[in-house]
Amino acid sequence: MKKLLILAAVLVLALSVSACGKDDKKNETPTASPTATTAPTETPTPEATATPTEVPAPAVMNHAQFDAAEFDTPVTVQAFVVDTQSWWDNKITVYAADKDGAYFIYEMACSQEDAKLLVPGKAILVSGFKSQWSGEIEIAEATFSFADTSETFVPEAFDATSLLGTDDLIKHQNERVVFKGLKIEAQEDGAAFAYKNAEEKTDDLYFKASANGTTVSFCVEFYLRGKDTDVYKAVEGLKVGDTVDVECYLYWYNGANPHVIGVTVK
C-alpha cells in the first residue's frame, strides 16, 4: 500500500512538471529571428544647383545725377559718341554727350574691332568712376556696351563766346562748343603757335586766342587731330593778329584748355 501511494505521488509530480513546461513555452514572447539589416538607402537628391545670382544692372544716371555724384564713386551713363581719340592698347578716349550735357571718357576699355563701331551718334552704356584731374571731370576706368537703342544723336556746337571770362563757362565742360571772332595772341617766342614736339611734329600744337578781354589756351590734341588733318595744318598757318572762329571740345586743364577740331580764319 505504501509503495502504491509513493508511486502515485511520483506520477502526479511528473505530470505537474510536464504541464508546467508547456505553459512556459506557450507564454514566451516569440523572439524574432535576426534578419540582416540593410542601411536605409538614401534617395539621391540632385545636387543643389546654385542659381546664378544676377547682379543688378547699375542705375543709369542722367547728366544732373552725374554732376551731383561724388568724385571716386561709381557712375553709369548712357550717352552718344561725339568723337574719339586714337585707339591703342585696347583703350580709347571718347568725347560723348547726351541732350543735357557732355562726358569725357578717359581710356575706356575697348577692343580694336569695337573701336571701329564707335562712330558719331552711336549710343553706348558706360560704367566707371567719376574722376577729376587738374579740373577736368572725366569717367575713368571705364567699360562699355553698345546701348540697346536705334536712337542716334550728335550735338550741334554751342556758341560759348559770350561766356568767356565768366563762371558759367565751366558749366559747359566737355561740350562741343564754338568761340567766334577770337584774336590770335603771340606765344612767348612771338610765334602764333607752338609745337610740343617741334622736331618730329608727333605731338600736340598750342595757340592762344582772346575775346572779351579773356585769353584762352587752345590745344590741337595730336591723338584727336593729327598732323595730316586740316585742323593741324590750319593752325600751322596762323599769324599773330588773325581773327578766327574755333570749334572745340571744352576740355579743362587748370582752366579752359579746349581740344580743337576746327579753325576758320576770318
Give the pLDDT confidence of 163-194 residue by residue, as tens digits. 999 999 999 999 999 999 999 999 999 999 99
Q: How does residue 25 score in pLDDT terms, banded at 50, 70 and 90?
A: very low
Q: How does residue 54 score in pLDDT terms, banded at 50, 70 and 90?
A: low
Residue 3 pLDDT > 70, yes or no?
no
Q: How does residue 58 score in pLDDT terms, banded at 50, 70 and 90?
A: confident
The confidence score (pLDDT) of residue 50 equals 52
179, 160 contact by CB (below 8 A): yes
List, in order, residues 6 or more apart from 19 with CB less than 8 Å away: none
Q: How does residue 7 score in pLDDT terms, banded at 50, 70 and 90?
A: very low
Phi then psi for residue 217, to 5 deg, are -90, 120
102: which 3 cell numbers? Answer: 557732355
The confidence score (pLDDT) of residue 15 equals 37
Q: How does residue 52 score in pLDDT terms, banded at 50, 70 and 90?
A: low
Strand-pairing partners, residue 88, are 91
Q: How does residue 202 score in pLDDT terms, banded at 50, 70 and 90?
A: confident
The residue to which cell 559718341 is assigned: 81
Q: Using a pLDDT cut of 90, give the percent of the chain over it.
A: 76
The residue to which cell 560759348 is assigned: 160
Phi then psi for residue 158, to 5 deg, are -85, 130
pLDDT tens-digit readout, 93-117 = 999 999 999 999 999 999 999 999 9
Residue 42 pLDDT > 80, yes or no?
no
Say what the alpha-carbon torsion angle 105, 108, 114, 115 is, to the nearest 10 degrees.
60
Half-sphere exposure of 21 (CA within 13 A, CB side): 6
Indicate the average pLDDT of the chain.
Answer: 86
Helix (H) or strand (E) holding 252: none
pLDDT tens-digit readout, 213-232 = 999 999 999 999 999 999 99
209, 182 contact by CB (below 8 A): yes
The residue to which cell 546701348 is assigned: 147
- Name the nearest CA neighbour of 126 among 112, 150, 110: 110
The DSSP secondary-structure symbol of 195 reads E
Three-class DSSP labels, 63-132: HHHHHHCCCCCEEEEEEEEEEECCCECCEEEEEEEECCEEEEEEEEECCHHHHCCCCCCCEEEEEEEEEE
Domains of the chain: 63-146 (2.40.50.140), 158-265 (2.40.50.140)
Distance CA 116, CA 125 (A): 16
Distance CA 146, CA 129 (A): 19
Backbone CA torsion sign across 115, 119, 120, 124? negative
> In 3-state terms, what secondary structure has residue 222?
coil
Residue 14 pLDDT > 50, yes or no?
no
206, 236 contact by CB (below 8 A): no
Distance CA 99, CA 67 (A): 14
The confidence score (pLDDT) of residue 38 equals 46
230: which 3 cell numbers? Answer: 586740316
191: which 3 cell numbers? Answer: 610765334
